Chain A
Amino acid sequence: MNEADKDATLDNLREMLFKVAKSSTEGLTGAQRDRRVAQRVAISRAIMKLENQALATIVTALGVRAVDVQENIDETEDELHGVTDTLNIIRTVARAMSSIARIAAIV
Chain B
Amino acid sequence: MGRILVVVCCYVLLAGCGSTKGLRQGAEVSEAGKAYATAMQSVADFALAKRISFLGTQLAQERLEAPGNAKTLKASLASRVELGREYAILIGTFKVQSKLLWDYFDALDKLVKEPVSEPTATAAKEFADGFAAIGKAFGKANIHVSPDQKTALGGLAGSIATAYHGKVVSELLRNDAQMIGEQLELQKLALHQFAGSIVFVAKFEQNDTYNKKVLEPYLAEAGKDPKAALPSDWEPSLAISIRDVASAQEVENAKSTAKKMQSVWKDYLAGTSKSGDLLGEATLLNGALTYAKNAHEARHMPVTQ
Contacts and interface: CB of A to CB of B under 8 A. Distances in A.
Interface of A: 7, 10, 14, 17-18, 21-22, 25, 33-34, 36-38, 40-41, 44-45, 47-49, 51-52, 54-56, 58-59, 61-63, 65-66, 68-70, 72-73, 75-77, 79-80, 82-84, 86-87, 90-91, 93-98, 100-102, 104-105
B123 A58 contact: no
Interface of B: 51, 54, 58, 61-62, 65-66, 69, 72, 76, 79-80, 83-84, 86-87, 90-91, 93-94, 97-98, 100-101, 103-104, 107-108, 110-111, 114, 116, 119-120, 123-124, 126-127, 129-131, 133-134, 136-138, 157, 161, 164-165, 168, 172, 175-176, 179, 182-183, 186, 189-190, 193, 196-197, 200, 203-204, 207-208, 211
Secondary structure of the A contact surface, majority rule: helix
A17 B61 CA distance: 13
Contacts of A44: 54, 58, 80
B66 A34 contact: yes
A61 to B, nearest CB: 6
Given A34-B69, A80-B114, 19 more contacts: A21-B204, A25-B65, A34-B66, A37-B62, A37-B65, A44-B80, A48-B80, A52-B83, A52-B87, A55-B91, A58-B189, A77-B107, A80-B111, A83-B168, A84-B114, A94-B130, A97-B130, A98-B133, A102-B133
Contact of B193 (A40, A54, A102): A54
B190 A55 contact: yes
B120 A97 contact: no
A18 B207 contact: yes
